[in-house]
Amino acid sequence: MKNVLITGITGQDGSYLAELLLSKGYRVYGYNRRTSSQNTTRITHLLDKITVLYGDITDSFSIYKALKTAEPVEFYNLAAQSFVGSSWDLPESTCEIDGLGVVKCLEAIKNYNPEIKFYQASTSELYGKVKESPQNENTPFHPRSPYGFAKMMGYWATVNYRESYNMFAANGILFNHESPRRGIEFVTRKISYGVAKIKLGLEKTITLGNLDAKRDWGYAPEYVDAMWRILQQKQAEDYVIATGKAHTIRDFVREAFAAIGINNWEQYVKTDAKFLRPAEVHELIGDARKAEINLKWKSKIDLSELTKIMVNADIELISKGEHK
Ligand code: NAP
Ligand code: G4F
């Protein structure tokens, strides 16, 4: 049986990746930071199948200890302060976690066992003010937020440890991917949750920021499969993972309301400048042809299906009286 270590196990992707790797027969170790109240809601159903180790990727020794306990063959670094919006309020800690934290993981692996394969959760936010469309593995970066420039350090650290020490270290440059497990502060979940509340008569409107931004949205369970495939290759390489289709926030809102049979969605949506960002990433669209050829990976769920999945899940959640 192969052992695997996942940082960010309590997050959206960590929970889906843990399910996938358990189904493939891995022994899963998750790395979870200490919080004052329990934050394991996304992995409650997995707690008797995985081992949770306490640690924080800003704390090198805790990473080293986790390696010693888990003895992983694969290490997926999904831990991050992942909300772009908060990164302007938390620029230093975002850099500590999303930038330096990656260096700490790589150093720990290099010193403990450089044979461990390393996956870094890189992001389309690296492209920021885009230099070409669609974006592929060779498109130059221009990050537009503390989150973006912190992740840029993580990206280049991964490339450099691969080139300098011949380690199997690879970046997945993932475009936005969503699910019913998405954090409530991200725009897709904010919309699906808001639409579900409107459907159930609990709310009258949703208040959003920039409706014109475009994103390439996929379905998270498909994207964690791409992560695994990246680490199964003969050679460590970086991959763009995306659907190849971009839609505006307005399109997402329209589809989400259509899922509950409402066409005149405009009367339910307000905008407020407090949700605008100091610098916006206006349009992201990925070219995942390299992944399609080498990894045999392609996204299947389109925007209309994605919004239905998310809105229906939120209707069920709220109806059962459960929290976001
Ligand atoms: P998420 O739901 O916000 O999960 C982030 C995880 O990181 C949580 O488990 C969180 O723990 C953990 N974490 C935060 N700070 C930590 C620290 N100092 N030490 C240890 N763990 C820490 O994010 P996600 O959507 O699953 O994304 C997973 C990764 O992919 C992130 O690195 C994100 O930046 C990247 N990414 C995401 C997308 C996307 O569209 N979802 C696209 C590209 C890249 P708590 O539960 O304690 O907060
Ligand atoms: O849902 P978002 O907050 O996601 P964003 O900024 O694209 O970042 C996500 O995807 C990245 C991959 O590209 C990940 F690396 C990152 O970790 C995260 O998962 O915002 C999407 C867009 C933005 O243009 C934002 O300005 O939606 C716009 N928006 C409009 N109204 C809003 C709102 N975003 C949020 N969060 N809340 C709003 O009310």
pLDDT digits (tens, 9 = 90+) for 85-141: 999 999 999 999 999 999 999 999 999 999 999 999 999 999 999 999 999 999 999
Residue 324 above 80 pLDDT? no
Are 235 and 162 contacting, i.e. CB atoms less than 8 angstroms apart? no
Which residue type is seen at 224? V
Residue 322 has a CB neighbour count (10 Å cut-off) of: 9
Are 111 and 51 contacting, i.e. CB atoms less than 8 angstroms apart? no
Give the distance (Å) from ligand 2 centre to CA of residue 106. 28
As a whole number of angstroms, the distance between CA 86 and CA 146 comes to 9
Residue in the block written with tokens 């170790």: 29
Catalytic residue of the set 26, 31, 119, 125:
125
Residue 152 above 70 pLDDT? yes
As a whole number of angstroms, the distance between CA 30 and CA 78 comes to 11
State mean pLDDT over 273-280.
98
**Ligand 1 atom nearest to CA at 77:** 32
Tell me which of 42, 78, 179 to substitute to probe ligand 1's pocket, judged by most ligand atoms within 8 Å of the beta carbon: 78
Residue 178 above 80 pLDDT? yes
Residue 51: what pLDDT? 98
Residue 38: what pLDDT? 82
Lowest mean pLDDT among 35-39, 269-273, 308-312: 35-39
Closest ligand (CA of 177): 1
The better pLDDT of the pair 39, 274 is held by 274
As a whole number of angstroms, the distance between CA 232 and CA 228 comes to 7
The CB-based long-range contact list for 29-32 (8 Å cut-off, 24+ gap) reads 29/3, 29/4, 29/5, 29/53, 29/66, 29/69, 29/70, 29/72, 30/5, 30/6, 31/5, 31/6, 31/7, 31/55, 31/57, 31/63, 31/66, 31/79
Q: What is the CATH number of domain 3-177+217-241?
A: 3.40.50.720
Catalytic residue of the set 76, 119, 127, 147:
147
Closest ligand (CA of 13): 1
Residue 321: what pLDDT? 87
Res. 322 pLDDT band, cuts 50 70 90: confident
- The domains of the chain are located at 3-177+217-241, 184-216+246-280+302-319
Active site (annotated) includes residue 147: yes
Are 167 and 236 contacting, i.e. CB atoms less than 8 angstroms apart? yes
State mean pLDDT over 33-41.
91
134: cis peptide before it, omega within 30°?
A: yes
Phi, psi of 251 (to 5 degrees): -60, -40
Give the distance (Å) from ligand 2 centre to CA of residue 186. 6
Q: What is the pTM of this model?
A: 0.98
pLDDT tens track for 196-254: 999 999 999 999 999 999 999 999 999 999 999 999 999 999 999 999 999 999 999 99
As a whole number of angstroms, the distance between CA 59 and CA 100 comes to 10
pLDDT tens track for 58-98: 999 999 999 999 999 999 999 999 999 999 999 999 999 99
| Count of alpha carbons within 13 angstroms of residue 215, beta-carbon side | 24
Average pLDDT score over the chain: 97
Residue 48: what pLDDT? 98
Res. 323 pLDDT band, cuts 50 70 90: low
Are 271 and 314 contacting, i.e. CB atoms less than 8 angstroms apart? no
Please state which CATH class domain 184-216+246-280+302-319 belongs to.
Answer: alpha beta
